Structure 1
Amino acid sequence: MRPKHNITVAIEPSLLKRARAVAARRGRSVSALLADELRQLVAADAGYAAARKRALALLAAPLALGGSPLNRETLHERRRLR
C-alpha cells in the first residue's frame, strides 16, 4: 500500500452532507470518493496533454500530398496571360 497524505478541504456543510450520502450509497468514504475523482482528473489532464503533443507534432510535420514539389518559377508561371 502506498503512503497517503492527509489534506484539508473547505466545503459547504450542505455539500458535505450530500457527499456523505453518496459515499454511503456506494459503500465508500468521502475521502475515497475525492481520491477517485482526483485520479480521474489527473488522468484526463495527462490524456489531454498527450493528445495536444501528438497534434502539435502532426502540425509541425510537412503534409505529404504526393507528387513532386513545385519550384517558384512553375508556381508563378503566367503563360495564359501572355
Structure 2
Amino acid sequence: MNLTLAVDEETVEKAREVARQQGTSLNALIRDYIERLAGNPSGAVIAARLQAHWDEDPPGRSAPGWRFDRAEIYDERLHGKKRDE
C-alpha cells in the first residue's frame, strides 16, 4: 500500500540525513515505525530482538555446571539414547 504524508521539506531532509547515517532510507524508517505501531515487526525489529536475546543468553554457551561428556554424545549418536536411559 502506498501512503502520502504532508511533511515540511526541511523536516524531511533532516530525517533523510538521519536515515543515511543509519544506513537505511527514510521510507524504511517510516515503514518500520508504522509496523511497530501496528504490532507487526519488520525484519530489522526481529533481528534487534534476537540480538537482545543473544546478548542475555549467547548461543553456544552451556548451562552452569554442565560438562561435556564424549561417551554420552557417542551413545546418543550411535544408539539414539542417553546413557541414563
Measured against the shorter chain, the TM-score band is: 0.3 to 0.5
**More helix by percentage:** 1
Q: Which has the larger radius of gyration?
A: 1
